[in-house]
Amino acid sequence: MSRLGVFICHCGENISRTVDVERVAAEAARISGVAFATDYKYMCSDPGQTLLKNTIREQRLSHVVVAACSPRMHEKTFRKAVESAGINPFLCEMANIREHCSWVHEDREEATAKASGIVAMMVERVKQNRALPTITVPVTKRSLIIGGGIAGIQAALDIADAGHQVVLVEREPSIGGHMAQLSETFPTLDCSQCIMTPKMVDVANHPNIRLYTYAEIELVEGYIGNFQVTIRKKARSVDEDKCTGCGICTTKCPQKKIPNKFDQNLGMRSAIYVPFPQAVPNTPVIDRENCTMFKTGKCGVCQKVCGPGAIDYTQQDQLIIEPVGAIVVATGFDLYSIDKKPGNSPYDGYGEFGYGTIPDVIDGLTFERLASASGPTGGRILRPSDGREPKQVVFIQCVGSRAREKGISYCSKICCMYTAKQSMLYHHKMHDGQAYVFFMDARVPGKNYDEFWRRAIEDEEAVYIRGMVSRLYQKGDKVMVMGSDIAVGVQVEIEADLVVLATAVMPQPGADLLAQKLGISYDKYNFYSEAHAKLRPVECATAGIFLAGACQGPKDIPESVSQASAAAAKVMTLFARDTMEREPIVARVRENTCVGCFACKKVCAYGAIEEKEIRDRQGNLIRKVAYVNPGVCGGCGTCQATCPSKSIELEGYTDEQIVAMIEAL
Instruction: Give residues in contact with other proteins (CB under 8 A).
Output: 340, 348, 350-352, 354-355, 405, 471, 473-475, 480
Quick check: helix, strand or coil at residue 539?
A: strand
Q: How far is the CB of 473 from other proteins (least distance, A)?
A: 4
- Pairing outcome for strands 463-466 and 579-582: unpaired
Q: What angle do CA 116, 122, 126 make, to 5 degrees?
A: 145
Q: How far is the CB of 355 from other proteins (least distance, A)?
A: 6
Rg over alpha carbons for the chain, rounded to the nearest Å, is 31
Nearer to other proteins, 352 or 655 (CB): 352
Task: Give the torsion through C-alpha atoms of 162, 163, 169, 170, to 10 deg.
Answer: 50
Distance of CA 93 to the CA centre of its chain: 31
Nearer to other proteins, 317 or 352 (CB): 352
**CA separation for the pair 429, 433 (Å, rounded):** 9
Q: How far is the CB of 350 from other proteins (least distance, A)?
A: 7
Rounded to 5 degrees, φ, ψ at 621 are -70, 120
Angle between helices 415-429 and 364-371 (to 10 degrees): 30
* Strand extents, DSSP E, 25-132: 34-40, 63-68, 92-96
Nearer to other proteins, 404 or 617 (CB): 404
**CA separation for the pair 173, 151 (Å, rounded):** 17
Q: How far is the CB of 476 from other proteins (least distance, A)?
A: 10
Q: Which ranges of 285-434 does DSSP label H, i.e. alpha helix? A: 292-296, 301-305, 364-371, 415-429
**CA separation for the pair 413, 445 (Å, rounded):** 10
Nearer to other proteins, 307 or 351 (CB): 351
**Residues found in the chain:** 665
- DSSP states along 187-224: TTTEEHHHHHHHHHHHHHH-TTEEEE-SEEEEEEEEET
Q: How far is the CB of 438 from other proteins (least distance, A)?
A: 18
Q: Which ranges of 280-319 does DSSP label H, i.e. alpha helix? A: 292-296, 301-305
Q: How far is the CB of 516 from other proteins (least distance, A)?
A: 31
Q: How far is the CB of 403 from other proteins (least distance, A)?
A: 12
Nearer to other proteins, 354 or 364 (CB): 354
Task: Give the torsion through C-alpha atoms of 573, 574, 575, 577, to 10 deg.
Answer: 90
Cβ neighbours, 10 Å, residue 445:
10
Please, are residues 270 and 259 in contact by the beta-carbon 8 Å criterion?
Answer: no
Q: How far is the CB of 467 from other proteins (least distance, A)?
A: 17
DSSP 8-class letter at 98: I
Cα dist. 204→15, 36, 213, 238 in Å? 54, 63, 11, 18
**CA separation for the pair 393, 460 (Å, rounded):** 14
Cα dist. 494→366, 490, 595 in Å? 21, 13, 80
Nearer to other proteins, 355 or 653 (CB): 355
Of the candidates 280, 164, 269, 265, the one whose C-alpha atom is nearest the C-alpha of residue 213 is 280
Cα dist. 318→169, 313, 492 in Å? 14, 14, 57
- List, in order, residues 6 or more apart from 297 with CB less than 8 Å away: none
**CA separation for the pair 432, 446 (Å, rounded):** 31
Q: How far is the CB of 352 from other proteins (least distance, A)?
A: 5
- DSSP states along 149-191: SHHHHHHHHHHHHTT-EEEEE-SSSSS-GGGGG-SEETTTTEE
Of the candidates 57, 58, 80, 212, the one whose C-alpha atom is nearest the C-alpha of residue 66 is 80
Quick check: helix, strand or coil at residue 482?
A: strand
Q: How far is the CB of 475 from other proteins (least distance, A)?
A: 6
Q: How far is the CB of 480 from other proteins (least distance, A)?
A: 7
Please, are residues 375 and 366 in contact by the beta-carbon 8 Å criterion?
Answer: no
